[in-house]
């Protein structure tokens, strides 16, 4: 089984508000550092994205790929790679947990990346961690509307878990 990297962050907003930002793929280039373009290719009967084309520039990983999304209730979305120029695997998920009666949300982001070109596992996991930490910090800033400096309270931990 492939190893994955995960991290979490607490956001000062209700889970529905957080998921609203996560589900708004058209705006990803505004708040994610790595996503340069996002195009929804297919939606489900509730209007949620089922297939999305993303142009990614994450330093060592640059790609134009398509992901298939699966929505589980109102608090989880996962994705898997449909096609890619550079990647063999890009599986991940956002899981939301309500805190303080819905006033805050704990967001857990899990990601597994495998590239078609040879890359040391250590470098691959570092790239995964950078993608996750930037995505979580960007999500927090986007939802809360305030600055999120590296190392500020509530930013992703410096130790992402490796499973």
Counting every residue written for the chain, the total comes to: 163
Per-residue pLDDT, 148: 39
* Range name among 33-37, 70-74, 102-106, 129-133 with the lowest pLDDT average: 129-133
Report residue 21 as tokens: 């930002």
For residue 21, count other CB atoms closer than 10 A to its CB.
Answer: 17
pLDDT at 156 over 70: no
- Residue reference for tokens 């878990």: 161
What three-state secondary structure class fits 142?
helix
pLDDT one-digit tens code per residue, 89-120: 889 999 999 999 999 999 999 998 887 766 55
Question: How far, in Å, CA of 136 to CA of 163, rounded?
Answer: 19
pLDDT at 23 over 90: yes
């Amino acid at each position: 089984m492939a190893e994955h990297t995960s991290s979490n962050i607490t956001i000062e907003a209700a889970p529905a508000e957080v998921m609203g930002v996560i589900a708004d793929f058209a705006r990803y280039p505004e708040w994610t550092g790595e996503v340069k373009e996002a195009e929804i290719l297919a939606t489900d009967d509730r209007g949620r994205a089922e297939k999305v084309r993303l142009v990614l520039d994450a330093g060592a990983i640059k790609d134009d790929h398509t992901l298939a999304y699966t929505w589980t209730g109102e608090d989880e979305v996962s994705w898997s790679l449909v096609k890619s120029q550079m990647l063999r695997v890009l599986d991940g998920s956002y899981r939301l947990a309500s805190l303080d009666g819905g006033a805050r949300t704990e967001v857990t982001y899990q990601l597994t990346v495998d590239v078609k070109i040879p890359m040391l596992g250590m470098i691959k996991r570092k790239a995964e961690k950078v993608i996750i930490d930037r995505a979580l910090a960007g999500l927090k800033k986007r939802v809360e509307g305030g600055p999120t400096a590296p190392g500020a309270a509530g930013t992703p931990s410096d130790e992402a878990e490796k499973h």
